[in-house]
């Protein structure tokens, strides 16, 4: 796998995240609340979130997300997550789905 976009087109993003976070992240991207800051073929940095409404509607704070692919190894960080507990959160889901569906 040589690009992050190809990775997400082949991966089941729902498996990376808790079902609730997959639902919330899907709502965030469907409402257009993902903004790419910088992107290479194997890295992306983006803002996600900052919408009004309930969590289920994609509402919540805006967070900065970094995703990186090294070989077949995906790594991620969201500024909303504590360092020791870096789950694939709703913001990571939103950015991953954005990339998957981008041109
Ligand atoms: Zn997050």
| Domains of the chain: total | 1
Give the distance (Å) from ligand 1 centre to CA of residue 6: 22
Name residues with Cβ closer than 5 Å to ligand 1, which is an ion: 63, 78, 80, 89, 91
Q: Which of 40 and 103 is assigned the larger pLDDT? A: 40
- What residues make up the domain containing 67? 4-101
What pLDDT sits at residue 83?
74
pLDDT one-digit tens code per residue, 72-86: 899 999 998 877 778
Give the distance (Å) from ligand 1 centre to CA of residue 15: 16
DSSP one-letter string for 20-83: HHHHHHHHHHHTT-EEEEEE-SSEEEEEEE-B-S-TTTTBS-EEEEEEEEETTEEEEEETTS-G
Residue 34 above 90 pLDDT?
A: yes
pLDDT one-digit tens code per residue, 45-73: 999 999 999 999 999 999 999 999 999 89
The mean pLDDT value of the chain amounts to: 94
What pLDDT sits at residue 40?
96
Give the distance (Å) from ligand 1 centre to CA of residue 89: 5
């Amino acid at each position: 796998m040589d690009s992050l976009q190809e990775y997400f087109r082949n991966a089941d993003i729902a498996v990376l995240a808790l079902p609730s976070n997959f639902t919330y992240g899907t709502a965030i991207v469907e409402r257009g609340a993902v903004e790419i800051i910088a992107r290479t073929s194997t890295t992306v940095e983006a803002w996600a979130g900052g919408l009004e409404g309930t969590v289920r509607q994609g509402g919540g704070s805006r967070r900065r997300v970094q995703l990186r692919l090294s070989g077949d190894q995906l790594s991620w960080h969201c500024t909303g997550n504590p360092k020791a507990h870096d789950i694939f959160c709703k913001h990571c889901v939103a950015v991953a789905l954005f990339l998957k569906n981008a041109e």
